[in-house]
């Protein structure tokens, strides 16, 4: 009797294991990209992952070479009505204004305090750099990190009334997770400031700080009252945009990506650099053609031009010529944000 009971238990165990195993197979067969509509963009992703991870494929890529780089603004999260980091800079200028009485009468600060967008635009790139330096430097890296973390916890975007990290694109979050589940190392390669992004990338995208490449300002090591700190200096160190993206990738990662994702003219060289390597490659561009669920801008395909993330017709031409896949936000994405009903 006791003997049979053991046999019975062994059978139950075997059944349970077989069930667990089947469940895993079923889970593995579930759609890894549920927020993507069926279409060429989704197919391109699935096919690329299949052929680079199947050992019997002639285009198999060893795990160490599975580097995928993602632009941030407009590729992983919303960049309109302005870059999130610019919203942060303007907010900081307003918060710091009481300590700088002269800002009330000096441009470009006056424009920010008066919410005068015309005067702000007139200040141009030089004015923008002044605003960034005034809001991003002169403190230690630890103080800046605390300020950024606090800002992200409180700030809400003007249209959706959501925290900025909630404006991450759900289909791109699924893509990041799908690539990582297939042995890819996912990196951000953004024109944004490294130290503005790092406090939120792990929580927002599952990307750790050491996999964030971006623009940097110079820092300086100082020991104050026996305590070492890194002070943020008002001097640009590196601009990780346009031709700077391949430079940044080479400097920080030291490997050429086999997949790269962007959405604007600032990503052109990153995609060219990625595509110039040998073996299977995947280059994709998010095209913002969905004014209803997000925003619509080009100026490619006749959409309005923009100062934030312009996608010019020449980029569309290059994409077509080189086989880069253009993702239509309107057609390829079942939903844009996780908070949609």
How far apart, in whole angstroms, are the C-alpha atoms of residue 265 and residue 165? 23
Among 46, 216, 308, 318, binds a second copy (CB under 8 A): 216
Residues of this chain, 21-60, that bind a second copy according to CB under 8 A:
none
Residue 232 Cβ, how far from a second copy at the closest point, in Å? 10
Nearest to 300 by CA among 261, 330, 326: 326
For the packed helices 124-136 and 84-96, what is the interaxial angle rounded to 10 degrees? 60
Task: Write each residue from 65 to 104 as x if it is in contact with a second copy (CB under 8 A), else as -, in one continuous string.
Answer: --x-------------------------------------
Complex with a second copy: residue 7 or 30, whichever CB lies closer: 7
Among 124, 209, 279, 323, binds a second copy (CB under 8 A): 209
How far apart, in whole angstroms, are the C-alpha atoms of residue 319 and residue 43? 17
Residue 223 Cβ, how far from a second copy at the closest point, in Å? 7
How far apart, in whole angstroms, are the C-alpha atoms of residue 261 and residue 80? 18
Among 66, 80, 136, 185, binds a second copy (CB under 8 A): 185
Residue 146 Cβ, how far from a second copy at the closest point, in Å? 15
Asked if residue 300 lies in contact with residue 288, where contact means CB atoms within 8 angstroms, the answer is no
Of the candidate spans 23-31, 158-166, 170-178, 193-201, the one that interacts with a second copy by CB under 8 A turns out to be: 193-201
Is 198 one of the binding residues for a second copy (CB under 8 A)? yes
Among 36, 109, 252, 261, binds a second copy (CB under 8 A): 252
Among 29, 118, 125, 210, binds a second copy (CB under 8 A): 210
DSSP string over 33-63 = -TTBPSSHHHHHHHHHHHHHH-TTSTT---G
Of the candidate spans 16-24, 25-33, 176-184, 265-273, the one that interacts with a second copy by CB under 8 A turns out to be: 265-273
DSSP strands (E only) in the chain: 67-70, 185-193, 212-224, 227-238, 259-262, 282-287, 325-328
Complex with a second copy: residue 82 or 233, whichever CB lies closer: 233
How far apart, in whole angstroms, are the C-alpha atoms of residue 207 and residue 8? 47
Residues 6+ apart with CB under 8 A from 73: 79, 83, 84, 85, 190, 191, 192, 263, 308, 309
Is 276 one of the binding residues for a second copy (CB under 8 A)? yes
Residue 195 Cβ, how far from a second copy at the closest point, in Å? 8
Complex with a second copy: residue 35 or 211, whichever CB lies closer: 211
Task: Write each residue from 130 to 159 as x if it is in contact with a second copy (CB under 8 A), else as -, in one continuous string.
Answer: -----------x------------------
Of the candidate spans 114-122, 146-154, 244-252, 306-314, the one that interacts with a second copy by CB under 8 A turns out to be: 244-252
216 by DSSP, 3-state: which? Answer: strand
Nearest 5°: the CA angle 83, 88, 90 is 95
Residue 136 tokens, joined: 């991003």
Residue 71 Cβ, how far from a second copy at the closest point, in Å? 16
What residues form DSSP beta bridges with 220? Answer: 231
Asked if residue 311 lies in contact with residue 329, where contact means CB atoms within 8 angstroms, the answer is no
Nearest 5°: the CA angle 175, 180, 184 is 105
Of the candidate spans 24-32, 78-86, 106-114, 218-226, the one that interacts with a second copy by CB under 8 A turns out to be: 218-226
Asked if residue 284 lies in contact with residue 46, where contact means CB atoms within 8 angstroms, the answer is no
Of the candidate spans 28-36, 114-122, 150-158, 267-275, the one that interacts with a second copy by CB under 8 A turns out to be: 267-275
Where along the sequence are the contacts to a second copy (CB under 8 A)? 10, 64, 67, 141, 185, 194-195, 198, 202, 208-210, 212, 216, 219-221, 223, 227-228, 230, 237, 243-244, 246-247, 250-255, 269, 272-273, 276
């Amino acid at each position: 009797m006791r003997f049979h009971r053991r046999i019975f238990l062994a059978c139950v165990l075997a059944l349970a294991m077989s069930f667990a195993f089947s469940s895993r197979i079923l889970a593995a067969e579930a759609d890894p990209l549920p927020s993507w509509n069926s279409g060429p963009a989704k197919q391109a992703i699935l096919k690329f992952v299949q052929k680079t991870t199947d050992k019997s494929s002639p285009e198999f890529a060893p795990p160490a070479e599975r580097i995928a780089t993602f632009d941030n603004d407009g590729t992983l999260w919303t960049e309109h009505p302005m870059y999130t980091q610019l919203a942060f800079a303007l907010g900081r200028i307003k918060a710091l204004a009481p300590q700088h009485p002269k800002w009330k009468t000096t441009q470009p600060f006056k424009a920010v305090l008066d919410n005068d967008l015309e005067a702000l635009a007139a200040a141009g790139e030089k004015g923008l750099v002044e605003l960034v330096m005034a809001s991003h430097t002169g403190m230690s890296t630890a103080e800046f990190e605390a300020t950024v973390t606090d800002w992200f916890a409180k700030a809400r975007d003007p249209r959706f009334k959501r925290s900025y990290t909630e404006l991450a694109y759900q289909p791109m979050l699924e893509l990041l997770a799908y690539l990582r589940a297939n042995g890819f190392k996912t990196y951000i390669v953004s024109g944004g400031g490294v130290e503005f992004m790092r406090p939120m990338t792990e929580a927002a995208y599952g990307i750790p700080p050491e996999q964030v490449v971006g623009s940097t300002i110079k820092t300086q090591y100082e020991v104050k009252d026996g305590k070492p700190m890194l002070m943020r200096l008002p001097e640009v160190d590196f601009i990780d945009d346009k031709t700077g993206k391949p430079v940044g990738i080479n400097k920080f990662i030291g490997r050429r990506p086999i997949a790269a994702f962007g959405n604007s003219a600032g990503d052109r060289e990153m995609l060219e650099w990625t595509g110039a390597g040998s073996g299977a490659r995947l280059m994709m561009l998010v095209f913002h053609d969905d004014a209803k669920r997000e925003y619509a801008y080009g100026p490619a395909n006749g959409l309005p031009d923009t100062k934030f993330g312009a996608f010019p017709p020449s980029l569309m031409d290059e994409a077509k010529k080189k086989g880069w896949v253009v993702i239509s936000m309107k057609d390829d994405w079942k939903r844009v944000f996780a908070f949609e009903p």
